[in-house]
Structure 1
Amino acid sequence: MDKRKRLMNVQEALALLNRLSEEESDGGEVSGLSDVSWVCSASDGSSDSDPEPLRKVRPSHPDPPLEDAPTDVPAHAEVCATEPSPAQEIGKDGTVWTVMEPCGGTGRRQIQNILTESAGPTPHARGNITDKLTAFMCLCDSLMLEEIRDCTIAEARRENGDRATWDVSIMEQKAFIALLYVRGALCGKNIEVESFWSEQWGNAFFNATLSRNRFRDIMRYLRFDKKETRRCRLTTDKFTHVRKVWDRFVHNSIASYRPGSDITVDEQLFPTKARCPFTQYMPNKPDKFGIKFWLAADVDSKYMLNGFPYLGKDASRPATQRLGENVVLRLVEPFVALLSKNTSLVGTIKRNKREHRPSVQGRAELFSTKVLKNDKVGLSVYQCKPRRNVTILSMQHQHVAISTERKKKPETVEYYNHSK
């Protein structure tokens, strides 16, 4: 039988191999006339030896000369149209991760990483801001001040029937807030308030703004809701004491500023000694006790975009949705909807999550990086310390570059440190 070279595409080669497997006989000639052809060849040795895989060639002219080739194609011949698939690792929950090689550069930026809108004050804010006071009023508007004034007066008259004429004006409220700002700017959190009115050690600004007794009275009666209707509201909302004022503040914050390309989401403990059912104890924080808030902020300007307090287990959260996922989606809802609005996510993930492969909890070479990918999500595992590694989950970095510095930090870790 004449030995001739076969030119075939992938589908024809697979069909030929299937027929060989079923009929256990030699195949006839199969020709292919496409621009890129697949050349199937076998070794010159015995049939027991492994055949060479198909190799991809491009003919130098439309009618390449034929060369002698064996007609016997083993039934177990392997057709390789592309490179072998990379190694894969499987997490405890069945998540399949494909091991990728770090690249030398970031390559072309994807569309979801390109911000076309400019960050900064919105048209609403620019149209209302003329000086520092009007800038403050964009966030703490007259409706909020009036609500606080009415609730404060109601509390004073409820507690002191003989002082039913007690009153406070909006101007006094602004002066009271100004003193709180100055106290914070002077780092006077741990200084007794009375000391700021001291003739010897006090600050002249305090005496010129409000008297000490007037400041003390406003502080005593300051309220953000009316106690007469609080009991019925507490049955549905633990945060009802300041809910109305807080929601208005968040609404104004969203309406007054357009964030930049990076938004960070994290928790913050506001220290307080007030007795409430959702006070948190966090030993790793400087102030241990307080009310924990989840906040979203613009990375570049540090502007607070959205936030809400942690009140314990949320009955409205779907059972299939984890706490972290629920928090992030709620905070960024006014701005993004992830991939549906071309928005990517970058963050850390705990090593004990079920999506992880078991080897993540093991130790690797110091300052080494392993990159894995699942669909559009990448995972970078960086061994930052001998007994600790950092795992960064990213929808932004399709290719991860490694720094040339001593610690060889991956691009995802450097980006996270910069934007958190």
Structure 2
Amino acid sequence: MRPGPTRQAVGQARDILSTFRLFFTPEIEDIILEMTNLEGVRKYGARGDGNGCGGDDDHRHYADDHEDHDRDRGGRWKAMDSTDLRAYVGLLILAGVYRSRGEAASSLWDAESGRTIFRATMPLKVFHAYSRLLRFDDRQTRAERRAAGGGDKLAAVREVWDKWVERLPLLYNPGPDVTVDEQLVPFRGVPGQQHCTRAQQHCTQHNTTR
């Protein structure tokens, strides 16, 4: 078995999108969309329930509980679709490319000092809404699934994680120069997001690189 990308990976990687979807499969995408929309509807109600939120892009995805004018508009959750999700993930990747760790999101969207692609892709309020509500499972059944799995610490991401792990061997053959190690990562909040402060350097998430 030759180390490196598999024949399947080489044959299906035709462009940026097809390469990305080798890892971020339709099955994984569907789980994230279903669970995120479920959380959005629970928090804000489905669009069409009561008064709509109009055509204002800054309010079309969610109602901000802290702003009276949003409540007056009767804002409701507009279902995230695959285009929205890919745009959101793309902005996260771009933030990494631009080495924006620790940089406030507001500065990335700033009209003068920010980057145009962020503002052109989605409003900052929509990005914040997705960041708050993005889910990989149904949180209301998480405790039950965690208990059924013998205290599964990955219950919040288990289904997506298992599909990801199953996918990787199909795309890459490891060679002799592979390091297997483990890392403790400071973690707080929504799975997939990392929030670190000096006081939180005692790690609460255990990541293993395989």
SS of the equivalent of 1:264 reads: coil
Q: Which runs of 5+ in 2 are unaligned?
A: 50-76, 192-197
Confirm whether residue 255 of structure 1 aligns to residue 170 of structure 2.
Answer: yes
- Separation of aligned partners in 1, 2:137 and 2:168: 21
1:221 is aligned, of 133, 139, 153, to 133
User: Which residue of the partner structure matches residue 101 of structure 2?
Assistant: 189
Residues 355-370 of structure 1 aligned to structure 2 (within 5 Å): none
Equivalence for 1:154: 38
Q: Which has the higher strand share?
A: 1
- Asked if the contact 2:46/2:78 (under 8 Å) is kept, the reply is no
Query: Alpha-carbon deviation of 1:231?
Result: 2.3
Q: Counterpart amino acid of 2:96?
A: G
- Say how many residue pairs are matched: 172
**Partner Cα separation in structure 1 for residue 188 and residue 144 of structure 2:** 25
> Secondary structure of the equivalent of 2:188?
coil
TM-score, length-scaled by structure 1:
0.39
Q: What residue in structure 2 maps to residue 206 of structure 1?
A: 118
**Correspondent of 2:153 among 213, 218, 238:** 238
User: Could you say which structure has the greater relative contact order, defined with CA pairs below 8 angstroms and 6 or more residues apart?
Assistant: 2
Structure 1 consecutive aligned stretches of length 4 or more whose deviation exceeds 6 Å:
none
For residues 290-341 of structure 1, what are the alpha-carbon distances to aligned partners after superposition, in whole Å with 9 as ceiling and x for unaligned? 4121112xxxxxxxxxxxxxxxxxxxxxxxxxxxxxxxxxxxxxxxxxxxxx
Q: Distance in 1 between matches of 2:4 and 2:100?
A: 31
Gaps of 5+ in 1: 1-116, 277-282, 297-420
The question of whether the paired residues in 2 share the 8 Å contact of 1:266 and 1:294 is answered with yes
| Cα RMSD (Å) | 2.2
1:214 deviation in Å? 1.6
Change (3 A) 1:155 1:292: same
CA-to-aligned-CA distance 1:212-235 (integer Å, 9 cap, x gap): 122111112100001232221021
Mapped partners of 2:165, 2:119: distance in 1? 32
Q: Give the corresponding residue for 2:59.
A: none
Higher radius of gyration, 1 or 2 = 1
Residue identity in the other structure for 1:289? C
- Give aligned-pair identity as a percent: 30
* SS of the residue 1:289 aligns to: coil
In structure 1, the residue matched to 2:205 is 291
The answer on 1:119 being equivalent to 2:17 is no
Matches of residues 8-407 of structure 1 in structure 2 within 5 Å? 117-161=1-45, 163=47, 165-235=77-147, 236=149, 237-274=152-189, 287-296=201-210
The two structures have a TM-score, normalised by structure 2, of 0.74
